Each structure stands twice: as C-alpha cells, then as structure tokens.
Structure 1
C-alpha cells in the first residue's frame, strides 16, 4: 500500500535537530501517525515517535504472553547491569530518571525539588519490590509492569489518543504488535 509521506527537518532555538517523517496508514480499525524525532540529551540520543493508541492496544500486548514475556525479559536484562538476576534500587533509578517525567513540563525543563524526586523514585521502587527485600526479581518486575500497564489501559479508555513514545518503550512495542496484526 502506498502511503503519503512528508519529511522535513528543522532546528529549534536550542539548536536541537529534529527530523520528522509523517505517514498516514488507514486500516479498517486502526490508524497510526508516525513521526520520528531524535531528541539529543548530553548523554544520549533517543529516537521517538508519535503514535495513536487506545486501551485495546495495551491490553492486547499484555495478554499476548509470548510477546509480553519477551519484552519484559529483554527489558529486565538491560536493567540488570550486574547480571545477578535482581534489580537494585540503583539499577532501576537510572531508568526511572531517564523518563524525565518530573523534570519536564510540556517539553520545558523544570527543576523539581531533589528530595521530592528521591521520595517519588523510592516509592516507585517499593511498588516493584513486592517481597520488600530491597531488590526486584524478574517475576516482581513482570507482575508490577503488567499491573501498571493495565491501569494505564483502564485510564485511557477506548478512544484513541496520540502519544510521543520512545522507540524501545513498552507502549511502542504494543503499537508495533498491533500494527503487525492489522497488516497480516
């Protein structure tokens, strides 16, 4: 199927190079708007895309045991730097900080209170550490990720929303899985 495609490149005031490629794919029950953005931070480049999804996208991925378990296993392995089969607070903290949920407000950097950030990250870690032993094993990681993703799906509802997603994120994998199923 030929899809209309537009590509442009621009530079923002902060000299952040953004390259965007738009394509619209219409299917009987799903459409996706792809927009790839390279976000450059001092330490890394992140490839992001704008995707349209709803709760069914997330639920379908979580319920697909093979796809969900593969993603969780890969993600856990990436975070388990010391390869001991458990995630420490320090191992999860770097990933949580990388989300920059509290450090940006509508794309503008803000300076949150460091003590408040430490409390929030600590409480997130406790959510994963079900047995309260100070580390998170694969089963705890899988169970809490499943719980959080289903809660997110519940909050989204059935109306599609447009979200900016990191290329290797859970939600991006859910969208890719759904697009693959629709295309088949």
Structure 2
C-alpha cells in the first residue's frame, strides 16, 4: 500500500501496550480516588467492607477487560473468574477491606499491563478506506486471481456464493477487511452483503469461471467497503512470535528461574517426604509460561504439540514421584528442549477480534488521568 494508505492506517489505530495502566496505578492520587469511587459503588450495605457477592461486579468487569466470555458460559473461563475472586478473598468467605481491595486491584492491573507490554494489542478502526484502496490498487487483480484458485480448489461443486464467502476469509486486516471468520462479521456484514449482491440464480451457480468470480467478488468487496464507511468496525489485533528467546533469558537467570518454579511448586501436592509426581510437570510449566514468554497451554496448538514432545522426551507422563530438585532439573530440560525447537522453528501467532463495546466499558478500569493544571505561582 502507498504512503497515503500507511498514514491513514496510523491515524485509525491505537496501540494498547500497558503504559497507560502503569501510569494510572503509579499515580497515587488518581488511583486512590478511583479505588474510593469503585469501593463505594460496590459496598452496597455501606459497612466499609466488600462481601463475596459485592465483589462479583468487579470480578465480571475484570473478566470483560481480559476478553473472557460472560461468567457461566465456559468452564475454562469460569475457572479464571474464580481465581480472580480468590485473589481478593484469599479463598475465604470473609469480607475484603478497602486496603485489600486496592492492593489486589493494583496487582491485577499491573499484571495486565505486563501482559500488554509483552503482547501489545492494536485497536484498528476499519472504515472501508484501506479496503477501497486495495480494490483499486495495481496488484488487486493478480492477488484475487490467486484467491480464486484457492477458493475453488477442492470444491468445484461449491456455489458462487460459497466461493465468495471463502475468498473473503483470505482478506486480512492488512487489506482493510475485518475478520470474516468472526461470527458477528459473518452475520452482520458478509452474509447480508453477499445475499444482496447476488440474485438467487447467481447464488446457486456452480463451476464458476474466473471472469465471473472476479466480477461478482469485486462487487461484493466494494459493497463491504461502503458498509464499513457508513458503519466502521473496531478490531483488536495482536500478534506474537515465540522464538525461544524468553526461555533462554529465564534459564540464564537462576534466581528468576527458581523463583518462577517455586511459585508453581507451591500449588501442587507433595507426599509426606516432600516429593512431587511428574504428572504435575505440565501444570507447573503452565505456571512458569509467562516468565518464559510462552502462551498458556491450550492457547496455541503448535506450541501444545511441541510441549507434548518435550514431555515425552523426559517421560513426563510416567507418574513417577521424584525429589523436588529432580523435578526442577526435569523442568529445565523440558524448557531447554522447547527453546531449541523454537529457535529452529519460531511460531508466529496473530489474532483479530471485533470489539463490540467501547474500550473503557469495563468499569473497573480507570480512565486515563487528566493532566493536572499547573499550580499558580506566587
């Protein structure tokens, strides 16, 4: 894309790297005021402490800011909600004081900031201009011809409508296209526009020629660009490359490595001799993952395969009970194996999701601090 397009993209995006959150938490005056306001909102019985029930709205807001589905809709995310609540209550049913509330909220916010610093999120406002420029760019037709062959490959009996939908999924945010595989985009943009641009006979047409496909596809994409111009879509875009460098840094710092391992070892059971079963290697690895700049287990399938292979190498699933030092040594071997694999074959991951709410909708997140007016000089 040309310079004008690049300038437009820069104007239409916002990078969330956690710096605003750090600034807010470290601004004691602003953060104290925020905590006071939120505490009063949550303290329904005005007894100066928060019960488990009163904490629920704060937990829900934190989950929303983390991008979790609503509480009660997924066992995996419900587990995280429970962990957030336990951070406040320390696993008890006792009420939480304002001081405790502030301390935990500060830790959670700074944890989120650290995650954003490591993996920034770019908020893109897609208004159709970039997509329109792509349509009229010199390389458009050549790229879409390639898309055509990909779309019809292996599905010669697919209808024109199906081919266009499949082809749209090959356009990325770099083209100015919101993620077509997002259910909201599919049901609110892709399907209605394809439906309106093709008559019933066209929709059912099969064995579509290249010329016919190009003509229909361009009509659809132009209409998508028009729709985005009328109603822009906000997309959260993130990308990360796991190349083993985070593991190398962790393994080279024995103090940090032991510290990360000890956190994981604290949460797993031990026998009366202090020994640990190797079946917990995966659980401890998941705890250590953030310190090694690795994704959570289950988040990236390629990484999960790599971890499984590393565990097989050390017979991690044999259930053998070992001394803590041997457990730590085995964990270092696993991380070393993963590091070498990533250095040879880095794994790149990107994700795009439509943002349906304003970025400040999570009520537990304070707004950026306004600049204080300068004190008048005497």
**Equivalent of 1:165, from 340, 356, 359?**
359
- Give the aligned partner of residue 115 of structure 2: 155
- Give the aligned partner of residue 69 of structure 2: 103
Alignment of 1:46-61 (within 5 A): 52-61=15-24
What is the TM-score of this pair, normalised by structure 1? Answer: 0.54
- Give the aligned partner of residue 45 of structure 2: 82
CA distance in structure 2 between the partners assigned to 1:72 and 1:32 by the alignment: 33
CA distance in structure 2 between the partners assigned to 1:62 and 1:75 by the alignment: 14
8 Å contact kept, 2:72–2:78: no
CA distance in structure 2 between the partners assigned to 1:155 and 1:89 by the alignment: 27
8 Å contact kept, 1:81–1:91: yes
Displacement of 1:123:
2.7
**Equivalent of 1:72, from 35, 39, 47?**
35
Deviations 1:126-148 (A, max 9, x none): 10124946221111110011111
CA distance in structure 2 between the partners assigned to 1:67 and 1:86 by the alignment: 21
8 Å contact kept, 1:129–1:136: yes
CA distance in structure 2 between the partners assigned to 1:124 and 1:78 by the alignment: 19
Deviations 1:158-183 (A, max 9, x none): 7563364235735451xx31xx3499
Tell me the SS of whatever aligns to 2:45. coil
8 Å contact kept, 1:165–1:172: no
**Equivalent of 1:112, from 58, 73, 97?**
73
8 Å contact kept, 1:51–1:165: no
Displacement of 1:122:
3.3
8 Å contact kept, 2:43–2:54: yes
CA distance in structure 1 between the partners assigned to 2:55 and 2:97 by the alignment: 12
CA distance in structure 1 between the partners assigned to 2:106 and 2:362 by the alignment: 17
Deviations 1:12-46 (A, max 9, x none): xxxxxxxxxxxx9xxxxxx996xxxxxxxxxxxxx
Give the number of the structure whose alpha-carbon radius of gyration is greater.
2
Stretches of structure 1 that go unaligned for 5 or more consecutive residues are: 1-23, 25-30, 34-49, 105-109
What is the TM-score of this pair, normalised by structure 2? Answer: 0.29
CA distance in structure 2 between the partners assigned to 1:160 and 1:120 by the alignment: 21
Cα distance 1:167–1:112, how it changes in 2: closer, same or farther (>3 A)?
closer
Higher strand share goes to which structure?
1
- Is 2:26 the partner of 1:63? yes
